[in-house]
């Protein structure tokens, strides 16, 4: 099975812009092979869940031959258009600051509301930035509709991607943050539910999130799966550390 992952954050954070990389390594291939770059100098692993959960999950699925190919679309300003990292092809979406600013304000307000904190609520300028951001990602994703079997979309930042992909390909939303419908005002709740129902299914992290999703009036397929953790990254507890 071939899949395409979509996330706001790319798995690699570049410390040098694309033009600087060209000056340093030219000529370069497309996609640029990350193994030819110097980690810690040219790039570093992105912090957070993208690196600690999604990437190890993809590696495990590739090793077990559950999937045969991965494309990964994420935001990357002044990043190489395409990068090969291990067996994964990363494609970066360039979005100008005027759109990013409005998108970020709306996304952060939505995050606050999801967590039951005071937020700015809904406003048109922020919403149009959020729509434009998701549309830019969809335009890149649409190039792969005939090349992959399914889309794996990471978290609420990409909320509108499912509706844009529509019936053209299966798309699953991995809702990573808590899902507490009771925290959302009615207008935002309707917006979130309609957007989530644009996907073929949603995966939440806890039983509580799944129950809240059902209570909210969601109509669609929903699954509860804990975030993936690579066991190899956690060493066994030493007996000496248990003493005293």
Per-residue pLDDT, 49: 76
By three-state DSSP, how is residue 240 classified?
A: helix
Helix (H) or strand (E) holding 88: strand 88-93
Give the helix/strand (H/E) hosting 87: none
Taking only the tens of pLDDT, the chain with its 244 residues reads 999 999 999 999 999 999 999 999 999 999 999 999 999 999 999 988 777 889 999 999 999 999 999 999 999 999 999 999 999 999 999 999 999 999 999 999 999 999 989 998 889 999 999 999 999 999 999 999 999 999 999 999 999 999 999 999 999 999 999 998 888 999 999 999 999 999 999 999 999 999 999 999 999 999 999 988 877 776 665 555 555 5
How many other C-beta atoms are found inside a 10 Å radius of the C-beta of residue 228?
A: 16
Q: What is the distance, to the nearest Å, from the Cα of residue 17 to the centroid of all Cα atoms in its chain?
A: 22
Kindly state the helix (H) or strand (E) to which residue 22 belongs, with its residue range.
helix 18-25
Preceding amide of 31 cis, omega within 30: yes
Contact 113, 121 (CB under 8 A): yes
pLDDT at 241: 57
pLDDT in the model for residue 240: 53
For residues 42 and 21, is the Cβ–Cβ distance under 8 A?
A: yes
**Which residues, other chains included, contact 2 with Cβ-Cβ below 8 Å and sequence gap of 6+?**
67, 68, 69, 70, 71, 147, 148, 149
Secondary structure (3-state) at 237: coil
The DSSP secondary-structure symbol of 243 reads -
Are 119 and 110 in contact by the 8 Å Cβ rule? The answer is: yes
Pairing of strands 222-224, 201-204: parallel
All structural domains of the chain = 2-232 (3.40.50.2000)
In contact, 11 and 74? CB cutoff 8 Å: yes
């Amino acid at each position: 099975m071939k899949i395409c992952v979509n996330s706001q954050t790319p798995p690699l954070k570049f410390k040098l812009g694309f033009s600087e990389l060209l000056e340093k390594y030219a000529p370069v291939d497309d996609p640029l092979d990350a193994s030819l770059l110097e980690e810690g100098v040219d790039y570093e692993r992105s912090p957070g869940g993208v690196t600690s959960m999604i990437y190890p999950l993809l590696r495990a699925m590739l090793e077990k031959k559950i999937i045969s190919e991965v494309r990964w679309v994420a935001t990357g300003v002044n990043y190489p258009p395409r990068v090969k990292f291990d067996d994964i092809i990363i494609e970066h979406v360039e979005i100008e600051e005027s759109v990013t600013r409005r998108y970020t304000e709306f996304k952060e307000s939505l995050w606050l509301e999801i967590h039951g904190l005071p937020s700015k609520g809904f406003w048109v300028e922020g919403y149009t930035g959020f729509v434009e951001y998701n549309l830019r990602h969809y335009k890149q994703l649409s190039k792969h509709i005939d090349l992959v079997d399914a889309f794996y979309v990471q978290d609420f930042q990409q909320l509108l991607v499912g509706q844009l992909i529509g019936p053209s390909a299966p798309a699953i939303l991995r809702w990573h943050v808590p899902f507490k419908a009771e925290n959302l005002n009615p207008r935002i709740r309707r917006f979130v539910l309609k957007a989530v129902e644009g996907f073929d299914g949603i995966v939440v992290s806890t039983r509580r999130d799944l129950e809240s999703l059902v209570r909210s009036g969601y109509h669609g397929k929903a699954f509860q799966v804990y975030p993936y953790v690579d066991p190899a990254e956690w060493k066994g507890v030493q007996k000496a550390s248990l003493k005293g």
